[in-house]
Structure 1
């Protein structure tokens, strides 16, 4: 699914940025561009970050 139409970033693109270490929407914008232009996708970007943070402790156990 497309997250950011401005740069054509998909859910996978944003998830890859998180996997590379991005932990804020600004870091995601720097890595893949999502959320760096008009900002309409920032809520979705933050939701992907939150979901990733929730899954991270479970993945280490």
Structure 2
């Protein structure tokens, strides 16, 4: 789905940026242009970024919790 109509950024692009190490809205703005024009996408983009980060944390915690 499109999150930022001004720059044509999708939720998949935001998730990919999070996987590549993007950790803040400032970085998303620099890399993808999200939230730089009208700003209506900022809340949704932030939510997707947080969701991606918490899922990565959850996956890492599960991996570390498994016996070797």
* TM-score between the two structures when normalised by the length of structure 2: 0.80
Partner of 1:7: 7
Deviation at 1:15, TM superposition (A): 1.0
> 1:17 is paired with a residue of what secondary structure?
helix
RMSD (Å), alpha carbons: 1.0
Matches within 5 A, 1:1-61: 1-60=1-60, 61=63
- Structure 2: where are the runs of 5+ without partners? 64-68
Structure 1, unaligned runs of 5 or more:
none
CA–CA distance in structure 2, aligned partners of residues 12 and 49 of structure 1: 11
Q: 3-state DSSP class of the match of 1:28?
A: helix
Quote the Cα distance in structure 2 between the aligned partners of 1:16 and 1:25. Answer: 14
2:34 and 2:45 in contact (8 A); partners too: yes
> TM-score by structure 1 length?
0.88
